[in-house]
Amino acid sequence: MKLFMTTAVSALTVLGGTAAMADIKLGASVSASGPAAFLGDPEAKTIEMMVDQINEEGGINGEKIDLVLYDDGGDPNKARTFATRLVEDDEVVAIIGGSTTGTTMSILSVAEDAEVPFISLAGAIQIIDPVHKWVFKTPHTDRMACEKIFSDMQKKGITKIGMISGTDGFGASMQAQCKDVAPKYAIEILSDETYGPQDADMTPQLTKIRNTQGVQAILNPGFGQGPAIVTRNKAQLGIDLPLYESHGVASDGFIELAGAAAAEGVRLPGTALLVASILPESDPQKPVVTAYKAAYEAKYGETVSTFGGYAHDAVDLMSHAMKTGGNDPAAIRDALEATQGYVGTTGIYSFSPEDHLGLDLSAFKMLEIHDGGWTLID
């Protein structure tokens, strides 16, 4: 809240004091506090850092970006209010934000009505399918994570799996997407278990999966403490099956919570940002992720997260589009849609009128935890 007040106030003083009407106004509404703060906090920090960087380097074609950043606290109603304020009072030419699918959906309808380009930072496939004219997004979808995992299973000859999913929004959405896309990879889900986001012990569910005949691997779509407890419980029960986690836990914190011994051999799809240091020099994303990681960690003294990376790509994409589109929302939108081969931290984006996500499966790297660290599988 304080963050947004100071930003808003300084934005106002800049406006009133210098009458810099030529500045390009960029709006943002993220969940920097509240239950989705783990998403919005690094996103807000990244957006501020990126805008400062762009302005220090001379801005967009000589014009500074004027950032108006709000904290919607993860509340879709607040997000709608702030989005309306951004287009009506602040008169921004573009919006970045919507840390969660809920807040994104609120901002989406406002942006569509006001005809302002909007880059969402949330995961759900519904944001870009069907395509909305003014809406883009940077994070890959749950479905892509499922597909990445299933294609890795296919390579290892796994065809029958047990699933144990969290009942929170993230887990439930990914569970549904995985079940939907499994037949495409000839994967059969023999056992489909769930657990509550605050549960302390998943050994009954895992025992059931172990006792199901023919299960060759376990997949755990989930977020927060659940996956760490599942990983520990699987080690406790001594279940000797490959365990796949989701991209939701792709962070060093997961290895720490699950314990290096229990997490040994766990596979999950993650982004290049997570494994910046072990990427081969030939990887096109290497310079982008290394630069962002270094800048963020130097400025804030905390480890970068995938979520901050989504915001990095959104600001970068938007500023590139502003170079051609200038101060005109419609021109910025057209420039965004024409973006081809932009290398971000999450992947390489190529938008088209039919595809407002612009990523393919190569955006995910298959990672395996080994000796308490990450290794690249492909």
Partner 1 sequence: MDALLQFLLSGVTVGAVYALVALGFTIIYNASDVVNFAQGEFVMLGGMITVFTYQAGLPLPLAAVLAIAITSLVGVALNKLALEPARGAPVVSLIIITIGASIFIRGAAQLIFDKQLHRFPSFSGDQPIHILGATLVPQSLWVIGGAVLVFIGLWLFFTKTLTGKAVLATANNRLAAQLVGINTGWIMTLSFALSAAIGALAGVLVTPITLVGYDVGVGLALKGFAAAMLGGMGNPKGALVGGIALGLLEALTAGYLSSQYKDAVAFIVILAVLFVMPQGLFGKSTTERV
Which residues contact partner 1 by CB under 8 A?
33, 35, 37-38, 41, 164, 193-201, 203-205, 207-208, 211, 224-225, 228-229, 232, 235-238, 253, 256-257, 259, 261-262
Phi and psi at 145, nearest 5°, equal -65, -45
Q: Write down the least CB distance from residue 325 to partner 1, Å.
A: 36
Q: Which helix (H) or strand (E) holds 372?
A: none
For residue 25, give both structure tokens.
């106004």
AA letter at 20: A
Q: Write down the least CB distance from residue 347 to partner 1, Å.
A: 26
For residue 48, give both structure tokens.
């501020």
| Minimum CB distance to partner 1 smaller for 63 or for 199 | 199
Residue in 104, 107, 141 with CA at minimum distance from that of residue 121? 104
Q: Write down the least CB distance from residue 199 to partner 1, Å.
A: 8
Please tell me the distance from the alpha carbon of residue 108 to that of residue 103, in angstroms, as a whole number. 8
Give the three-class secondary structure for 53. Answer: helix
| Minimum CB distance to partner 1 smaller for 134 or for 223 | 223
| Minimum CB distance to partner 1 smaller for 160 or for 208 | 208
Identify whether the C-beta of residue 31 lies closer than 8 Å to the C-beta of residue 73: yes
Q: Write down the least CB distance from residue 185 to partner 1, Å.
A: 25
Q: Write down the least CB distance from residue 197 to partner 1, Å.
A: 8
| Minimum CB distance to partner 1 smaller for 116 or for 369 | 369
| Minimum CB distance to partner 1 smaller for 53 or for 211 | 211
| Minimum CB distance to partner 1 smaller for 260 or for 377 | 260
- From residue 93, alpha-carbon distances to 11, 26, 207, 230, 330 in Å are 15, 6, 54, 45, 9
- Tell me how far the alpha carbon of residue 65 is from its chain's centroid: 24
Q: Write down the least CB distance from residue 261 to partner 1, Å.
A: 7
Residue position matching structure tokens 């209010």: 81
Q: Give residues with Cβ within 8 angstroms of 364, minimum separation 6.
A: 140, 144, 145, 148, 247, 269, 270, 271, 347
| Minimum CB distance to partner 1 smaller for 216 or for 303 | 303
Cα dihedral 129/330/323/27 (nearest 10): -70
Q: Write down the least CB distance from residue 245 to partner 1, Å.
A: 15
Please tell me the distance from the alpha carbon of residue 285 to that of residue 359, in angstroms, as a whole number. 13
Q: Write down the least CB distance from residue 33 to partner 1, Å.
A: 8
| Minimum CB distance to partner 1 smaller for 258 or for 366 | 258
Residue position matching structure tokens 């809406």: 135
